Structure formats: structure tokens, C-alpha cells
Structure 1
Amino acid sequence: MITSVVKPRGITSHDVVNEIRKITGERRVGHGGTLDPFAEGVLVIAISRESTKKLGEILLGADKEYLATIELGKTSSTGDPEGKIQETTGNSALRKITERDVENVLNRFRGQVTQTPPVYSAVKVRGIPAYKRTRAGEKVTLKKRKVFVKELELVEFDPPLIKLRTVVSSGTYIRSLAEDIGKALGVGAYTKELIRTRVGSFLLENSKTLQELKKSL
């Protein structure tokens, strides 16, 4: 069985997998693409040994859609609300940023872009996730990678907050995209809220909550 569930904010993707194991009694449960604890939305789940083997093939090349709320004028050590937040720009500088300024910067981040994954990420460094090395006090340097931003749309402009809708290739980090947009605007930024609304053909509106999944089985 391959389906999609709604990961709630505040828990890890692995927590969701563990909960589904309890609900179904099936040990072979996997997910297709980690969502950070602060994020919510579509998490594709494979239940059974056969399904977990097929999951990678089904999601191969699948793009992902997100709604991201970005706060300008502040940065975060983790790129999200869970890190150490630091103010980088005063209100006077933020007031000077116009909607046109944001639109002009967004034009630079459509198509193929180069980004550096966050040091607080699951990217492996010599076999160990970068976030584990970073938490252990190691200085982690990750290689830049090319990703593809298929769509990038300004949905809401309400400084210091802006809301973006974006469709990206697999492997794209929205936290890195937000930080790069903040740098391009000259004020810094971090991702305050993140909702994944689609993974390939799996849509948020068709995804079950964990409670709904439990009732349906």
C-alpha cells in the first residue's frame, strides 16, 4: 500500500512512520522524502515490504510543491523557527523593500539554481547525517548542488513576512532558497512556516491525517 498522509507540525517524519507502524501492525513502513519537524503537509508513505521497494521508483523525478512563509530581516541558525533567531536588519530597512523588489529577486531564482543544503539537514557526510555532525559540534561544509525551481510565485506581501508558492525538483531545500532570497534582498531571511502541498501526484487535499488513516484501516 502506498498512500499519503498529512504530517502535522512539531514531529519528525520518522515519528509519523512509527505511528503508522503502531496503527497497522506492519514493521515495513517507509516514507518518500523527509519533512522537517517545523513543517507540515504531504508525506508519501509505503506500507509493506513490497510497497517500500516500489516507493523510490514511483517517486523518481517527482516534483514537490510548497507554501512557504518567510520572515525578512532575521536569520536562523537552522533556517527555521527551531534555531537561534538573530535580527539582521532594522525596521527602517525593511520598510524600504517593495513588492516589486521581491518580484525582481524572485526572477533570479527560477529555473536551474545552485544552492548549499543547510548544515542542519539529512545530507550524509561520510555516512552520517549533517545535522548529527553539526549538533555534535563539528564544523560541517556541504557542497553546492544544482536544483530546479519550476515555479516561484509571490502569494502574499506583508513585510516582514512574505508568502511564496513554489514547485521544485527533488532535493531542493526551501530553507536554503529562503536564505538566498533574503541575501539577495540584502536583509536576511528564514523560513517561518512551511507546508508541502504536493509530491508528484499526491495532493494535500487527498491525504489523510493519522486519525483518518487509523479509522480507514
Structure 2
Amino acid sequence: MPKKASEIWKQVDRYFADALIAPSDGFDDALDANRTANLPAIDVTPLQGKFLEILVRATGSKRILEIGTLGGYSTLWLARAIPNNGLVVTLELEPRHAEIAQKNLEVAGLADRVELRIGPAAQTLATLVREPAAPFDFIFIDADKASYPEYLQWSLKLSRPGTLIVADNVVRDGKVIDSENPDPNIQGVRRLTEMLSAEPRLSATALQTVAGKGYDGLIIAVVLH
């Protein structure tokens, strides 16, 4: 991407974040903790976190499923948006990431709203279906992109009519349009898109985004029946 364009995106991000997110509301301590722990720098941006919070509040969601916790930054935004009797179930593969996420939740005073499950997401999702877990109102998919099609299938089993499903990082710097690209992350997103197109139970759209982290986007789908 042109250097000038990426710098403008960062400046615009900072402008709106400074204007719309109070310092006390941005969970800066969690971002600092994630950086100190050398976690991958792939958290949602503060503005994107606020977007998730707004979606949850607007839909009145009480039960949330998050696939991919990392250090819990997006989890914090989701947990703050639900009422005191709500619950975020978040799934993380790496025990070390989960440990850091748990500490971030405790520091923010939101740990009582979150159930953190550790292990491969496909296995944990299967466990949720077997339990069976009550349907979720909101599902945020932000884990390994190659497995997005599988995560969508499990999400449908854990949803209800009206459930909102958001899948992050689907544009892949524009590379998603390259059908021959061997990157499993890109092929995973392409298979996800094909599934959404063919699934009569879902109505979906995609939004391209530019931000401090670069050029990407997300898919938003609603369960119709």
C-alpha cells in the first residue's frame, strides 16, 4: 500500500479514537499488557472494539460467543456491552494467551461476565453443542482464518433466528480476490464466503476497512431462521 495512504489511515484512526473513546474507556492497560507479553499485534483497534460494543448494545445481546481470545482485548469490549446477567464465552487455543486474557479481564473488573475455555476451537465448539449450550445472540469469529468455514458451521448450531455473526480479517490486504493464492487463510475466507452465499439461513454483507493496522475488512451475517 502507498506509504502516504497508510499514514493517513493511522492519523484518521487517532483522530476519531481521541474524539470518541475516553482514555478511561479504551482498555489501554490490556493493550500495554499484551505488548509487554509479546503477544501477536493483531488485536482489534480501539475503534473496532467500540464498534463491537455498539453492535452488542444495539442488538440487546446477552449471550456472546467469541472464537479467538488472544489477550482478551476484544473480549473486554464485548463483556462491557452486556448486562450484569449476561455472559461472554470466549475460546482460546494457547494457554499462555488465555492466562494473559484472564488477568486483563480481572484488572478491568469484567472477569465475572466471561467464561474462558482453552483448547482447539473446533473441539470446544463441539463440546458447547453437546452440553447443550443455550443459543448465542452474538458471535464474533476472530481466530485462524483457514478454519472459518468450520467455525461458521458450528456457529449455526449455536445460534437462533436473529443471531448476529461477525467474522474479522476477511479482506487480507485485498488478496481475498485471488482465487489461486495458496495462503490457507485466504482460501479459508473464500470458502466462508461461498458458504454464506449458499446458506439460506443467513443474510450477509462484507465491509472493507482501512485503519492503523492496514487494509482489511469484516463480514456481518444475521441468522434468518
TM-score (norm 2): 0.25
More helix by share: 2
More strand by share: 1
Q: Which has the larger radius of gyration?
A: 1
